[in-house]
């Protein structure tokens, strides 16, 4: 019953001209309402679990995160949706075979630094870019 | 929906990996790190030596910078009395893609048992360098304890040279890299700028014949580096000399698509 009420409410707020909505496809969006919207999830990469602490000095692991969730039209609950993602979602609604749904992917990534020994016992400190998800969004 | 979500979560977090899967994941991460295989350093089981300690300090500075907590501030493991002798490396460190420390391979002395002038030589193996990166700075770091003997109240002029060519029976050809003037009673790390030499060694590793260090008093008298308090290869491990080189990537690394 809650779902039905929400359906009504959402239909009211989505002022799309009826001609743009392919019959049945819009209902598909509502079916996926119970699913999670695109967002960042916890994911820890552990160098300890990989049994690498004999050569990796620091860190023991790092919070990498990942993006997961639905990018269904309308994307208003997904703050980082690009204009292209919004248009792609519309096209997907009308012609699902022409374009897939927009993808939930990282919008901002940051670097990590890893300190490790090489075979000659020299110590290397290296910066690896784009390793940590800072934010997710629909692309 | 919730079943799918829970299943996804359990597969991401709780699933025990098979041996083969673990190896594949390890190989994949090593490829991202640009390593052909897992390094196998010899475990020495002793006190940590100076280079890893210095690098750990740099790591903490760089890691906090990655977190955007600290902008440019980098702490050097240098006592305040000698900190003014160290060139400011804040930008070099924050812009470095790779920092490598090298263990001193060979140390030769011409000390008080030899004829003057006294000197100390060091050599570092710079052949294992990151590909596609250029040196932005290189430092030779050596620890100085309080001087012994009659020179304790004097100023020491410490010069570091690149050995350009060594000859069998006559003096080697030397190229001056850096000079520092330190009070003999001072104690702490000294850092000499050897960027020029490391760039030459990178271009042509066969010209890497090492570094030579001389110490003189105001009047030009030669001082034995040991008596001046400089710690060498046989000194305490956290105070042994080492080389640190800062690299910057020419372009972002390109990984082959699979």
ipTM of the complex: 0.77
- Say how far apart CA A69 and CA A38 lie, in whole Å: 4
| pLDDT of A100 over the 90 cut | yes
Is A46 at the interface with chain B, CB within 8 A? Answer: no
Residue to test with chain B: of A127, A128, A133, most B Cβ within 10 A: A127
**Segment A37-59, tens digit of pLDDT:** 899 999 999 999 888 999 999 99
| pLDDT of A23 over the 90 cut | no
Alpha-carbon dihedral sign for residues A32, A35, A40, A46: negative
B98/A127 touch (CB, cutoff 8 Å), yes or no = yes
A127/B125 touch (CB, cutoff 8 Å), yes or no = no
Burial of residue B129, with CB atoms counted within 10 A of its CB: 0-12 exposed, 13-18 middle, 19 or more buried: middle
For residues B123 and B105, the answer to whether their CB atoms sit within 8 Å is yes
Range with the largest mean pLDDT of A8-22, B36-50, B70-84, B96-110: B96-110
- Say how far apart CA B160 and CA B121 lie, in whole Å: 9
For residues B154 and B184, the answer to whether their CB atoms sit within 8 Å is yes
Give A138's strand partners.
Answer: A104
Is A52 at the interface with chain B, CB within 8 A? Answer: yes
Is A53 at the interface with chain B, CB within 8 A? Answer: no
- Say how far apart CA B25 and CA B27 lie, in whole Å: 5
Sorting pLDDT into bands at 50, 70 and 90, what band is B251?
A: confident
Q: By 3-state DSSP, what share of chain B in percent is helix, strand and coil, each rounded to 5? A: 30, 30, 45
Q: What is the mean pLDDT of residues B246-251?
A: 85
For residues B212 and B106, the answer to whether their CB atoms sit within 8 Å is no
Sorting pLDDT into bands at 50, 70 and 90, what band is B196?
A: very high
Cα–chain center distance at B233: 14
Other beta carbons within 10 Å of A110: 14
Instruction: Kindly list the distances between the CA atom of residue A127 and the CA atoms of A92, A130, B94, B165, B249, in Å, as whole numbers in the listed order.
Output: 39, 10, 10, 36, 10
Sorting pLDDT into bands at 50, 70 and 90, what band is B180?
A: very high
Q: What is the mean pLDDT of residues A1-26?
A: 36
| pLDDT of B75 over the 60 cut | no
Range with the largest mean pLDDT of A2-16, B40-54, B55-69, B198-212: B198-212
Q: How many CA within 13 A on the CB side of residue B38?
A: 17
| pLDDT of B66 over the 70 cut | no
Q: How many CA within 13 A on the CB side of residue B6?
A: 3
Q: Which two tokens stand for residue B40?
A: 């196998």
| pLDDT of B86 over the 70 cut | no
B62/A119 touch (CB, cutoff 8 Å), yes or no = no
Q: Which residues of chain A neighbour B26 with C-beta distances below 8 Å?
A: 50, 52
N- to C-terminal Cα distance for chain B?
32
Q: Which residues of chain A neighbour B96 with C-beta distances below 8 Å?
A: 127
């Amino acid at each position: 019953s809650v779902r039905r009420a929400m359906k009504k409410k959402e239909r009211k707020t989505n002022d799309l001209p009826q001609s743009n909505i392919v019959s049945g496809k819009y209902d598909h969006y509502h079916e996926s309402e119970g699913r999670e919207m695109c967002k960042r999830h916890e994911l820890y990469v552990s160098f300890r679990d990989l049994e690498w602490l004999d050569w990796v000095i620091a860190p023991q692991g790092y919070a990498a995160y990942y993006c997961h969730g639905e990018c269904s039209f309308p994307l208003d609950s997904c703050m980082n949706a690009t204009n292209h993602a919004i248009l792609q979602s519309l096209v997907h609604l009308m012609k699902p075979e022409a374009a897939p749904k927009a993808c939930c992917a990282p919008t901002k990534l940051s670097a990590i630094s890893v300190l490790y020994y090489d075979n000659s016992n020299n110590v290397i400190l290296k910066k690896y870019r784009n390793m940590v998800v800072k934010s997710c969004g629909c692309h | 929906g919730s079943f799918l979500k829970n299943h996804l979560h359990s597969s991401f977090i709780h699933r025990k990996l098979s041996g083969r899967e673990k190896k594949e994941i390890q190989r994949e991460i090593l490829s991202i790190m640009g390593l052909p295989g897992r390094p196998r350093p010899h475990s020495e089981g002793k006190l940590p030596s100076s280079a890893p300690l210095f690098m750990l300090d740099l790591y903490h500075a760089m890691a906090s910078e990655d977190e955007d907590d600290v902008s440019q501030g980098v702490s050097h493991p240098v006592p305040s009395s000698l900190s003014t002798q160290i060139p400011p490396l804040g930008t070099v460190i924050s812009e470095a893609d790779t920092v490598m420390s090298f263990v001193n391979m060979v140390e030769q002395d011409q000390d008080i048992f030899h004829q003057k002038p006294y000197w100390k030589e060091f050599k570092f193996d710079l052949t294992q360098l990151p590909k596609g990166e250029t040196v932005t700075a290189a430092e030779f770091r050596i620890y100085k304890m309080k001087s012994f003997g009659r020179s304790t109240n004097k100023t020491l002029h410490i010069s570091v040279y690149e050995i350009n060519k060594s000859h069998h029976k006559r003096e080697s050809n030397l190229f001056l890299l850096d000079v520092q003037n330190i009070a003999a009673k001072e104690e702490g790390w000294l850092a000499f700028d050897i960027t020029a030499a490391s760039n030459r060694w990178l271009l042509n590793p066969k010209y890497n014949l090492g570094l030579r260090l001389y110490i003189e008093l105001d009047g030009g008298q030669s001082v034995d580096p040991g008596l001046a308090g400089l710690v060498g290869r046989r000194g305490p491990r956290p105070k042994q000399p080492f080389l640190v080189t800062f690299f910057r990537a020419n372009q972002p690394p390109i990984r082959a698509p699979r």
